[in-house]
Structure 1
Amino acid sequence: MSTPHDAVAPLIEPITFLAAAVVAVPLFKRLGLGSVLGYIAAGVAVGPFALGLLGEAERVRGVAEFGVVLLLFVIGLELNLSRLWEMRRSIFGLGTAQVLVSGAFIALYPYLVVGRDFSASLVAGLGLALSSTALVMPLLQERNELEAPHGKAAFAILLLQDLAIVPLLALVAFLSPLEAEGEGSSWLELAAVVGGAVAAVVLAGRYLLNPFFRVVARFGTSESMTAAALLVVLGAAALMATAGLSMAMGAFLAGVLLAESDYRHELEADIEPFRGLLLGLFFISVGMSVDLRLVAENWLALLAAVSVLIAVKTATLYGLARLFGHGHDTALRTALTLAQGGEFGFVLFSTAVGAGVMAPEHANLLVAVVALSMAATPLVVRLGQPLLCGERGRPEPEEDFSGANGSVLVVGFGRFGQLACQVFLARGLRPTIIDNDVEMIEAAGRFGSRVHYGDGTRLDVLRAAGAGRVKLIAVCTDAAATTTKVVEVAREAFPDTPCFARSYDRRHSLELIRRGVAAEVRETMESALAFGREVLVGLGAPRAEAERLVDDVRRRDRERLEAQIEGGLYAGMEHLRVRPEPLAPPASGRAAAQDAAAGGG
């Protein structure tokens, strides 16, 4: 017969984890040290080497690694194959050079200074050359730097490092004195297995996933969609793990193949809560792995090792990034961000111990070095800011949507959005405004306007800003690509809320109409018509006649746009009074001139 204690026992560890996160993370964010360092500190406190409230780190990390898997899936959803191809030089050039050069330099320290043998030093150097995807990507996301040049460079290097774990594990097997002759798979067999697994994920992603999610969305519930998303992620991860690749790589590949899907934003929103909690658990497991007794006994050696690791990786990465054409600021930011050891080092070092390449006490010290370097990363990034040549990195404001209860959600508060809001306010409507331009938000605040900081292309931001309860969403952003993405997210997640959008030109208007906006307004249309009207008046035309002519042009333009919706870009040309062409176009440029006339304005 079970006792009350038996019933409560399974809940002790989850309660401890949640309590540690709730206490430590807000405290560390308040101190400006970031949530990652808060999780690691919480892990140190509740781990087996301090308070002992949680068990072994390895047992927790087995579940926590799924946080890294989900993180890579979400990152993949933001990319596609064409963007990956554009990044090939950074991935395979800079990424490969970073692993090899950093690994070689780091290996010299245990080999020459500590006196380890060559095999153990080589594995240690290459393992420490790998940085932490689980740490760096949330750090960049937290600082809104994923799309910055150094964010893209860091991601490319991390992607190559994830790929590098397979040959590094093979290297450990090759160096192992326990490896019997004739055992193990050949390189050809390994390549065939890996190639088959990748091909299976690619083919499934290309031909099965979209129909699968279409059926689930049509006949299932929101919970079914969440379950389907987790099934796809974990299935791809398991397939890659079976082939010897990292689970994170399988999830990333599945995300990339779904990047063009109509369901990607819903998938991202479904995965987000699991990703956040599991990543937090991962960092707590990193903190739990820090053996405080070992650190106390070897604090001087560990301090020296962590300092050497960070210095060598920063210097090497900076030099390589400069060699690959990056500027000083981008190279330095990338180097500082990737200066730590990574989670795959844990896997490599434990494998090396099992293969007899490395002594257990050596591996334990290396695990402590990795954990301490990860904990030091937020501080290293902050201390490196004065070395930048450009802006000293003004801190981003926190997303705060308290008081976001307007009846209209306005995304973008530039020149266009400011004038539109004047019209809304004149009618007595209360807009909720979001923008991600810090200087503009501060300027608006000086004039008494409340603008919430947030990226309108993110579903979680739109939800927090009230997109699900407002009467209308007005997208007033400057860049056409940004406007399209906001509309895409809003129409998919909030199909019952009308979406009005500012468009860049006629082509953009057609694209927005195809994506389901209730109305679009070309940013120069009305100002150009007003300008034309005033010119006619200035030339002596009666204002009534000028108004009538402008109304005629507006009507013809609308009829032409409606014809283009049905018949394509070149339809409705009969509605043009004059077909504009560039001055003296070359003979070969006639087609381009016609294309410009069809799509312009």
Structure 2
Amino acid sequence: MTGYFIQAFIYLFAAVITVPIAKRLGLGSVLGYLIAGVIIGPVIGLVGSETATIQHFAEFGVVMMLFLVGLELEPRMLWDMRHRLIGLGGLQVSLTIAAVMGIALALGLDWGLALTIGLVFSLSSTAIVLQTFNEKGLSKTEGARSAFSVLLFQDIAVIPMLALIPLLAIPELVEQAQNAVQAASAQHEELSLVANISGIYYALVIVVAITGVIVGGHYLSRPLFKFVASSKVNEIFTATSLMLVIGIAAIMNLVGLSPALGAFLAGVVLATSEFRHQLEATIEPFKGLLLGLFFMTVGAGIDFNILFNETATILSITLALMLVKGSVLLILTLIFKIKGSDRWLLALSLAQAGEFGFVLLGFTVNNHVLPVDLAQTLSLSVALSMFLTPALFIFYDRVILPRYMDKTNQQESDDIEEHGDVIVAGIGRFGQIVNRLLVANGVKTVVLDHDVNMIERVRSFKMTSYFGDATQPSLLETAGIANASLFIVAIDDKARAVDLVRYIKQHYPQVKVLARAYDRGHGYSLRHAGADHVVSETYHSALILGSHALTNLGFNEEQAKDVKLTFKDIEKHSKETLYQTWLNNSEDDKFNTAYRDLYLQLEDSLAEVMKNKDKSKKPITFDI
């Protein structure tokens, strides 16, 4: 027992030290886990033979991850994305298999080996890519959405691959395996429902298993979760969630299918369930820990002897793999019209092999399709490509993305053909609403924005707008700032917004400036720069939502409205006091102790007024 505790401590200690350092250096958590595994494994030797066993356990993190991915996908969403899912994803897998197979055949390999290697290398790392997208805030980009479609198709394609691989078995390897089995017939065999059946019966068992997961997930899981939820015992809900995922994984293993596929299908079935969010919250911590452990075992399991003896071969395979996959994806971006930095994000993010590569390689060895020595070499190439993936993301962040941003910034401003009474700087979600309201009431506006994509989008809705940086004096003059009555600042950059307000009030003091603030501090800065009126982008919507919350808690409409108006009145009285305090503080500490103490005092007064407001109908006063 002590040995298990020591091994667990080693893995956890390595992760606790290495992962935060890797994230601070911008390498990402996945690379941190891989490095931690290399350090405690091949480098220091603190872990050894148990790594393979732990990896089988940690692979369950991949199963949980695909369950969570499925929860995010309603069947209708899958249908809506069918063209990109099947088109982009299908072509990526097919073309990559063909390219890798062609290279392998040219090198003299048998067609069965060539096809198997193509299948292994056609898959990318769902775990690394999705986690890195989330960490870097790229999930909403066009490139990331396209990458997700490809990854989703790859995960689904694993199933037919697992069905095909046994058909490629090499007779010599099968004979060797049979001899080995006869020599060690007493060894333990895994449970299987399909070990001694083939043909139509095997297909029938698979159909029944998949149908059972879908039907059971739809009709049986809901009553089960309702029953468990009624107990109001959180740990039992956690146990039920784990039981569901583990049970599905076991069923899939018993019929020789991928546990990850079963978990994914179950997730899709439960995507419309009322328990979806609770399931996500319950499974997420386990998924994160097991995925981290999985990547550590990948790093710890690297055989440096093979790596050193075949360095040139492994590097050549890895670089060729990444070059082929990247080239295929770049070609597909032209077909599917993915432009700009998004095309490079798609190509670079999916250029590696994936965690399912390890699964398929193990499956090929067990089914006598690949020799063990070749599978070990390919496994090191898969691991190395995964190691290099964070570096590709860093290359994208520091080289590719800035170049496209520079191109956007260097684009010449549009020729402004008309002037108006109001100039709106920024046509994002906030500026659009303001502009629509003005235009609907016959106010002539001139809209400026430095985001080309945003300009093209709003123009498609017949909204006249011009590309250009509103902080540039020459553009302001062209837009007719000298004759404008009003200037609305709704740009996303807080510092540029403050500079813009200051410039306009210094050079065109007759123009009234209305500005959008992100938060209290930004609002103070805009006011100090000279803005005539500042509105927090969340203030009024938060008040409305708070009012609705009160009515849902039992307040009647009049009470909720009265409370909202009282709150606004108190905020209005306290605004000047807080602003003056902020203004008098040093630049290094605008929100110092004195400001915080005053703010807390005002909050106490607010609570007191709310408590006693029905007892007195006197006008509200606020003395500090």
Q: TM-score range by the shorter chain?
A: 0.5 to 0.7
Residues 313 and 447 of structure 1: is their aligned pair in 2 closer, same or farther, counting only changes over 3 Å?
Answer: same
Count of residue pairs brought into register by the alignment: 432
Aligned to 1:501: 545
Residues 228 and 354 of structure 1: is their aligned pair in 2 closer, same or farther, counting only changes over 3 Å?
Answer: closer
* 8 A Cα contact 1:500 1:517, kept in partner: no
Aligned to 1:463: none
Structure 2 unmatched runs, 5+: 176-194, 409-428, 433-490, 498-516, 525-535, 566-624
Find the partner of 1:311 among 304, 313, 323.
323
Residues 448 and 203 of structure 1: is their aligned pair in 2 closer, same or farther, counting only changes over 3 Å?
Answer: same
* 8 A Cα contact 2:27 2:394, kept in partner: no
Residue 279 (structure 1) aligned with residue 291 (structure 2): yes
Tell me the amino acid that sits aligned with residue 501 of structure 1. Answer: L
* 8 A Cα contact 2:169 2:368, kept in partner: yes
CA shift for structure 1 position 152: 2.2
Aligned to 2:115: 122
* 8 A Cα contact 1:111 1:118, kept in partner: yes
Residue 345 (structure 1) aligned with residue 357 (structure 2): yes
CA shift for structure 1 position 82: 0.7
Find the partner of 1:192 among 186, 204, 214.
204
Find the partner of 1:288 among 275, 293, 300.
300
Residues 142 and 190 of structure 1: is their aligned pair in 2 closer, same or farther, counting only changes over 3 Å?
Answer: farther
Residue 17 (structure 1) aligned with residue 11 (structure 2): yes
Find the partner of 1:269 among 275, 281, 285.
281
Structure 1 unmatched runs, 5+: 1-6, 395-412, 417-436, 452-473, 484-498, 504-508, 527-601
| Normalised TM-score (structure 2) | 0.62
Residues 212 and 415 of structure 1: is their aligned pair in 2 closer, same or farther, counting only changes over 3 Å?
Answer: farther
* 8 A Cα contact 1:67 1:275, kept in partner: yes
Aligned to 1:259: 271
Residues 18 and 319 of structure 1: is their aligned pair in 2 closer, same or farther, counting only changes over 3 Å?
Answer: same
Find the partner of 2:168 among 149, 152, 175.
175
CA shift for structure 1 position 442: 9.1
CA shift for structure 1 position 50: 4.5
Find the partner of 2:218 among 206, 211, 227.
206
CA distance in 1, matches of 2:331, 2:556: 51
| Normalised TM-score (structure 1) | 0.64
Residues 515 and 343 of structure 1: is their aligned pair in 2 closer, same or farther, counting only changes over 3 Å?
Answer: farther
CA distance in 1, matches of 2:292, 2:104: 32
Find the partner of 1:31 among 5, 9, 25.
25
Find the partner of 1:362 among 350, 356, 374.
374
Residues 392 and 351 of structure 1: is their aligned pair in 2 closer, same or farther, counting only changes over 3 Å?
Answer: farther
CA distance in 1, matches of 2:554, 2:79: 32
Residues 514 and 175 of structure 1: is their aligned pair in 2 closer, same or farther, counting only changes over 3 Å?
Answer: farther
Residues 169 and 203 of structure 1: is their aligned pair in 2 closer, same or farther, counting only changes over 3 Å?
Answer: closer
Any idea what SS the aligned residue of 2:344 has?
Answer: helix
Aligned to 1:98: 92
Find the partner of 1:215 among 227, 230, 239.
227
CA shift for structure 1 position 441: 9.6
Aligned to 1:51: 45
Tell me the amino acid that sits aligned with residue 124 of structure 1. Answer: I
Residue 151 (structure 1) aligned with residue 144 (structure 2): yes
Aligned to 1:543: none
After the TM superposition, which residues 71-86 of structure 1 pair with which residues of structure 2 at under 5 Å, given as runs? Answer: 71-86=65-80
Residues 445 and 95 of structure 1: is their aligned pair in 2 closer, same or farther, counting only changes over 3 Å?
Answer: closer
Residue 142 (structure 1) aligned with residue 140 (structure 2): no
Overall identity of the aligned pairs, in %: 38
CA shift for structure 1 position 208: 2.0
CA shift for structure 1 position 261: 2.2
CA shift for structure 1 position 344: 1.6
CA shift for structure 1 position 89: 1.7
Aligned to 1:239: 251
Residues 117 and 278 of structure 1: is their aligned pair in 2 closer, same or farther, counting only changes over 3 Å?
Answer: same
Residues 186 and 516 of structure 1: is their aligned pair in 2 closer, same or farther, counting only changes over 3 Å?
Answer: farther
Residue 229 (structure 1) aligned with residue 223 (structure 2): no
RMSD: 3.9
Q: 1:399-443, CA deviations, whole angstroms, 9 ceiling, x for partnerless residues?
A: xxxxxxxxxxxxxx9699xxxxxxxxxxxxxxxxxxxx9845996
Any idea what SS the aligned residue of 1:258 has?
Answer: helix
Residues 337 and 112 of structure 1: is their aligned pair in 2 closer, same or farther, counting only changes over 3 Å?
Answer: same
Residue 162 (structure 1) aligned with residue 155 (structure 2): yes
* 8 A Cα contact 2:248 2:262, kept in partner: yes
CA shift for structure 1 position 33: 0.5
Any idea what SS the aligned residue of 1:448 has?
Answer: helix
CA distance in 1, matches of 2:310, 2:197: 40
Aligned to 2:472: none
Q: 1:233-275, CA deviations, whole angstroms, 9 ceiling, x for partnerless residues?
A: 2222222333333212222222222222222222211112111
Tell me the amino acid that sits aligned with residue 323 of structure 1. Answer: I
CA shift for structure 1 position 312: 0.6
After the TM superposition, which residues 527-538 of structure 1 pair with which residues of structure 2 at under 5 Å, given as runs? Answer: none
Residue 250 (structure 1) aligned with residue 253 (structure 2): no
Residues 163 and 450 of structure 1: is their aligned pair in 2 closer, same or farther, counting only changes over 3 Å?
Answer: farther
